[in-house]
Amino acid sequence: MIIKPKTRGFICTTAHPTGCRQIVRSQIEYAKAHKSDAGFKKVLIIGSSMGYGLSSRISAAYSCGAATLGVIFDKPGTEGRTGSAGWYNTAAFEEFAHADGLYAKTINGDAFSKEIKEKTIEMIRNDLGKVDAVIYSLAAPKRTTSDGTTYSSVLKTTNSEYTNKTIDLKDNTIKEVTITPATDEEITATVKVMGGEDWLDWIDALSDAGVIEENAVTVAYSYIGPEITYPMYTKGSIGKAKEHLFETSKQITQKYKGISAYVSVNKALVTQSSAAIPVVPLYISILYKIMKEYGNHEGCIEQMTRLFTDKLSSNTAKTDENGMIRLDDYEMQEDIQKAVLDVWDNVSTENIKEVADIEGYWSDFFGLFGFGADGVDYDADTNPVYDIDSLK
């Protein structure tokens, strides 16, 4: 079939297997060129098929030389329909890793479930013995807990209505958006989905089963951002969940005296999650242009490679005064944030293409689904069926 991008709202409903493969290849080449002596040898990545999770897996394998076990929740392609981008990314990663002599297996299913935790534990026990690092990179809109209750997260403020500029991704126009505050029940549900409860459940399960090293490292990902996005993010319903995530890092470290748990605060990037948050896509578009002009713009693979080469090792981590790893350090430079604010005050539909990197935003967005990769013929007939080796 001829595979073209089809969008609905802030998601793309198609994915290109050859494009995903090419993008994974380019990330692998970057990681190969940035070797790490972090010391990790057996890494579990929970949520490993896209974005930061995928790049974490690539960097762990190709910067550190680690065996990697990934947990994903993705759909394969059929003769008449494309699979998810995460499926194609994982298939490509395993193909390259196996060709390069690296251990790489994947478990596909709901990472929140007891069943998938048990499957993962069995595979670690049989294949790896124990893991020395656990990356927790889930970004799901819903979670069903062990008692059968399903919680849904919301993207809302917490105290009062908030009005600011945003970009309408349907036509790249600048509009005002007003976000209503979440109810207490909605905040609780968002914390249940995006907080640290499941992260702790994973570490408990791995520890109880004896398949995590006593001196292991575990990292979960978060974002803080500038004051522009505070009402929607840091002080919004998501922010409450991220506060819980950070408290969980301290809880894990205290509960398991040898295990070091960290939250890594990463840079604002185009992801499926960030595309859904009002205000944030406009901020990202402006930030991209400014950071590219400064020469310090990073994508997922650059961020995750810097995590493993500069910020984190099996012995220690470079953190701020609060104990967080700060990969947003370039983004939050005072001069960059001042430049963003100057543009923010004056951005409009008429000048968006001049003052913001809207093309870069859309390039990254479609790149999430395998479109726009160099050297790929998107007019060619393409087989949407692409197997993940370890799931055959």
Quick one: pLDDT at residue 6? 94
pLDDT of 10 higher than 80 = no
Q: Where are the beta strands (DSSP E) in 238-363?
A: 260-265, 325-326
Distance CA 390, CA 104 (A): 8
Q: Is 233 a catalytic residue?
A: yes
3-state SS class at 264 = strand
Distance CA 275, CA 168 (A): 11
Residue from 162, 223, 233, 361 carrying the catalytic annotation: 233
Provide the Cα torsion 286, 290, 291, 295; round to 10°: 150
pLDDT of 147 higher than 80 = yes
Q: How does pLDDT run across 175-200, given as a tens digit for each residue?
A: 999 999 999 999 999 999 999 999 99
Which residues are within 8 A (CB) of 270 and not within 5 positions of it... i.e. 6 or more apart? 281, 284, 361, 364, 365, 368
Q: How does pLDDT run across 64-109, given as a tens digit for each residue?
A: 999 999 999 999 999 999 999 999 999 999 999 999 999 999 999 9
Quick one: pLDDT at residue 47? 98
Better-predicted residue by pLDDT, 98 or 316: 98
Percent of the chain with pLDDT over 70: 100
Q: How does pLDDT run across 246-263, given as a tens digit for each residue?
A: 999 999 999 999 999 999
